Chain A
Amino acid sequence: MFLNARTRLILASILLSSVVTVSVLGIVYVTTNVIIEQETRSVVEAEITGLSDDFERLGLLGLAAAIDRRVQSSTKQDAIYLLTDYRGRTISGNLATWPTSVEPGGGWVELDLVRTDSEEEVPIAAISIRLESNARLLVGRDASGRQKFDRILVQSAGLALIAAFVLSLITSWLLTRLVFSRITDISDTANTIVAGDFARRIPVRGTGDEFDRLAVTLNDMLGRIEELVNNLQLTTNSLSHDLRSPLTRLRTHLDTLLLEDAEQQDRDKAGKRALEEVDHLLRVFANLTEIARAEARLPKSDFETVDMNALVRDAVELYAPVGEERGVNLLGVGTAKPINGHRALLMQVLSNILENALRYAPDNSTINVRLVDQDGGLCIEVCDEGPGMPDAFIKTAIQPFQTLDPSRSNPGAGLGLALVAAVARMHDGNVHLENTTPGLKVSVTLARGDI
C-alpha cells in the first residue's frame, strides 16, 4: 500500500463511522418491521375471530352488514375485507373478487390486489377462513403505508450515512491535520539538525498542550546536545592547537638529545625540558579526563555530606602561605550549611579558583572567599583585587583552553575554570564571573542535594 498514515487514518475513521451508522439503522429497521408485522397480524387475527363470531350470531347477512359498516368507517383506512358465498361471488368488502391463488384457511399471504374503494392496486397482507355453508372471509391490511415507512427509513439511512461520511471526513481531516502538522514540525526540525543546523528548535505554539510539552522537552534535549557538541568541537580545535606547540617543543628537545655533537650540558637541559613538556601534556589530559567525567554526570554514588566551611578553611589555610610571600591576604568569611557533594572535586574547584586569584592579585591586596547560604544550596564567592577580565573574555572564560596568558606559564592550560564549571554543573549549579573594578568576582552556586 502506498497510502500515507494520514490517508489511512481518515479512511479508517470513515469506514468505522459508516459501519456504526449502517448497523444502528439496520437494527432499527429490522426490529420496527418485526414488531409492526407482529402487531398487525395479531390485530387482524383478533378481527377475523370477532367477525366469525358475528357470522355465528347474526348469519351471513349480519356479517355482511358488519363488514360494510367497517369498510365505510373512516377509522380504518388500511383495513381490507372480502366476504364471498360458496360460489365465490362477492357479498361484501372492498375487494373485487376472491384472488384465485388464495385458498381459504391457508394462513397468511402477501399479494397485490385492486381495492374497490380507492380503485388502486395495493400490496396486501391477509388471512382467510372458510365459514359454514362454504362462505369465505378474508381480512387483511393494506401494506402500502408500511412500505412507504420502509422507504423513508431507507432514505434517512442513506442521508445519515452521507452525513456520517462527511462528518467523519471533516473531523478526521482536522484531527490528523493537527497531529501531523506537529509531527511534521518535529521531523522537519530533526532533518535540519541532521543536515548540520544544530541551532534549530521545534516551534512551540503556546497552546500548552501535550505537543507543546513534547516540543519543550525535545528542545531542552537539543540544547544540551548542542552544548555538548559545541564543547566537543571547541575542545577538539583547542586541543589540536594547544597540543601542537608542546609536542613540537618536545620533538626539538628529543632531537637535541640525539645530536651526536651535542654538549652534555645541552643534553641534560633538553632532557629536563622534554620531561617538563611531557608533564604539561599529561596534566592537560588529566584535566580533560576530570572535565569529561564531571560533564558526564555520573551516578552520584561518590557524593557525601561535605562541610563547605571546613573545605574553605582548609583551602585558605593551604594557600595562605603562597599569598603571604607577596603580602596577599587570603580571608575565608561567612558560613553555609553542609551540602551533598563530591569532596575531592569541590576541593579542586576551590584550588583552581584560588590559584587563579593568586596569579592575578596585586601585591599587598586581599582575596575574600565568602560562603553564602541560598535557597536550595549555597554560593562560593571569591573576590580578588586584580585587573579583572576583559568583558569579551568573561563570556568564554569557562570554556576549555581559554586563557588570558598566552605564554606557557599557566599550568592549568586554560582548563581550570572549565573544570570549575563542569563540577558546578555536576552539582546542579553554575559559575558566574563578574568584574568588580578593581578585581574579579567568581561565584559558584551549588545545589544542596539530598542530605
Chain B
Amino acid sequence: MSRRILVVEDDAETLEFISKGFEAQGYVVETATNGRDGLYLATDGGMDALILDRMLPELDGLAVVQSVRAAGINTPILLLTAMSAVDERVRGLRAGADDYLVKPFSFQELHARIEALMRRPQDHTESRVLTCADLTMDLERRSVTRAGRTLVLTPREFQILEFFLRRVNRVITRTMLLEGIWDYNFDPHTNIIDVHISKLRRELDGPGEPQLIKTVRSAGYILSDAG
C-alpha cells in the first residue's frame, strides 16, 4: 500500500515542487493551499504524515498543529518555515510538531526527514544488538565488530554509528546528525559533520572492505545493508 501524505502550502511553486518530488517517490500526495482546508483534510484521517507551512492563509500553521493534536491525531507533522530557525523551531515543537525545516530546503532533506518521521516507532524497539551487513554493535558491552574485527571507537563515534544502525537504509542528512547527535540547531559554516563521518569511516572500513556509510549526493549519508 502506498503511503499518503498531506502537504499544506500556500505558495503554488513550492507546493508543486514538494508534491512532484513525493509522487516520484511513490507517495500519494494530497494538497491544500490554506490552513482551514488543511485542517479538514488532516482530521479526515488516513494520512501517514503532514507537511505544513508555518504561515498559512485563514488558519496559521501552528494553529493547525494544535488543532490536529487536540483532535487526538498522532500523525507525524513536519513544519516548514521561512522564519529564522532558532526560536521558531522550539515554538513549533512545543505546539506539537515532530520536526521542523527552514526554507529553503532541498527535496532530499525533506524526504529524509519525512521517512525518518514515518518510521520513528521502529526506533523504540529496544534491541541489545544492532547489525548491518557484517557490522555488529553490542549495546550492553559497548563493543563494535566488523567481520570479526573489533573496532576502537570514541564515545562520540559510537553514538554516531548507533544513530546510523537504528536507521539502516535511510538517508541521514547533516542537520539531522547535528540535531540528533549533538542536540544543537545552529548553522555550521564548515563541513564539520563530513569530518566526523570520514573519521568514523577510517575506523569502520578496513583495507579492501566496501564502504559502509555511503555519501548520498546533495543529501547526506546512508548506512545500507545491500553491501
Contacts and interface: CB of A to CB of B under 8 A. Distances in A.
Contacts of B195: 321-322, 325
B86 A322 contact: no
Contacts of B187: 283, 286, 348
A347 B86 CA distance: 11
A18 B196 CA distance: 90
Size category of the binding interface on chain B: 20 to 34
Interface in B72-89: 84-87
B70 interface: no
Contacts, number: 58
Given A282-B104, A290-B84, A348 B192 contact: no
A100 B104 CA distance: 120
Contact of A342 (B86, B184, B196): B86
B214 interface: no
A347 B189 contact: no
A411 interface: yes
Nearest to B87: A302
A92 B209 CA distance: 158
A412 B184 CA distance: 19
Contact of B84 (A293, A325, A355, A416): A293
B188 interface: yes
Given A321-B195, A325-B195, A344-B86, A355 B184 contact: no
B199 interface: yes
A351 B186 contact: yes
B190 A322 contact: yes
B204 to A, nearest CB: 15
B190 A411 contact: yes
Nearest to A275: B218
B182 A314 contact: yes
Contact of B192 (A290, A319, A344, A352): A319
Contacts of B84: 286, 289-290, 293
Contact of A317 (B87, B156, B186): B156
Interface of B: 84-87, 90, 102, 104, 156, 182, 184-192, 195-196, 199
Interface of A: 282-283, 286, 289-290, 293, 302, 314, 317-319, 321-322, 324-325, 342, 344-345, 347-348, 351-352, 355, 358, 411-412, 416
| 3 closest Cβ pairs, A-B complex | A411-B189, A348-B186, A321-B195
